[in-house]
Amino acid sequence: MAENATELTGKGVGDYYIRYKATDTAFSSKATKVTIENGAIVLTGVTITGTAKYGETLTATITPANATGTISYAWYRSGTAISGATSSTYQLAAADIGSTITVKVTQNSGTPVESKATAAVTAVEGSRTKPLLSEKNIVKTENTIQVVGFANTDKVAYEYSRDGGVTWQAGNEFTDLNSNTPYRIAVREKEVKEGDVVVKTAGVSSDVLTVRTEANKVTLHHATLTGDAKVGNSRPTPSATIPKRQRATIKARHRAILPAATRPAVGTAATLP
């Protein structure tokens, strides 16, 4: 018997088959079996609340909220049942990214009602706030640049660039650099992956800071002495400053090359700076 109604009321215990048809068309929905038990409140629908984003929790809300009997849930990822997802809530996982989610709810052993699909699940978006990078964050030598002041935590990790954001590395120190050379340093929150799936996108980059490595400090390791190695000659004058620790070595070598006949007696050796 056909009835024009949106609610099934005043019916006795038993099985009923419900379908919907618009008044201006001959087409109707498939029949859905509804079992009314003694004093039962019939389940008629389910909706999903929550944000379709990795790590968020979705909740299945049934209509009416006080539907009686045994209510069971089954969550689906783009039409495929998700193993173990049989609660009224579901936390979105990496495998859900890019897929839509639905839930089917069954009252007792009747025909399940199904929700509308969510939007496609997305990854968490990295920070949209630029990290503040300045000279205070830089420690440099002739061949290294280290970026300090950005500590990793269990929620945030940083990555670093020396070419203005073209390439990135996890470590905060750049090594094997050229001396007295400018590098374009930047920092940002690192993207997070589970396996091959990006679950959190990289954050926005800091402004680029140009940092020049230190110039090389020249150390003299050898000096050439000129003049005749004879007693009485003026002492040789090196053409560059000789580190103090090298003077004794040079003095010894100078004494060693004096010919035996001209070598001064003990206590009268020529001295060097």
The model's pLDDT over 129-170, given as tens digits with 9 standing for 90+, comes to 999 999 999 999 999 999 999 999 988 999 999 999 999 999
Domains 14-114 and 135-212 in one fold: yes
pLDDT in tens, 80-130: 999 999 999 999 999 999 999 999 999 998 889 999 999 999 999 999 999
CATH class, domain 135-212, is mainly beta
Assess whether pLDDT exceeds 90 at residue 18. Answer: no
Would you say the C-alpha torsion 23, 24, 26, 31 has a positive or negative sign? Answer: negative
CATH number 2.60.40.2700 given to 14-114:
yes
What's the token pair of residue 142? Answer: 């002739």
> What pLDDT score was predicted for residue 25?
65
Rg (CA), the chain: 41
- Cα distance between residue 221 and residue 243, in whole Å: 8
Assess whether pLDDT exceeds 70 at residue 55. Answer: yes
> What pLDDT score was predicted for residue 201?
97
Would you say the C-alpha torsion 260, 266, 270, 273 has a positive or negative sign? Answer: positive
Per-domain residue ranges of the chain:
14-114, 135-212, 219-273
Is 26 or 151 the better-scoring residue by pLDDT? 151
- Cα distance between residue 244 and residue 219, in whole Å: 12
Q: Which range among 9-18, 104-113, 182-191 shows the weakest confidence by mean pLDDT?
A: 9-18
- Tell me what percent of the residues of the chain surpass a pLDDT of 90: 61
Residue 196 in contact with residue 218, Cβ under 8 Å? no
Model-level pTM?
A: 0.61
Assess whether pLDDT exceeds 60 at residue 252. Answer: no
Residue 85 in contact with residue 75, Cβ under 8 Å? yes
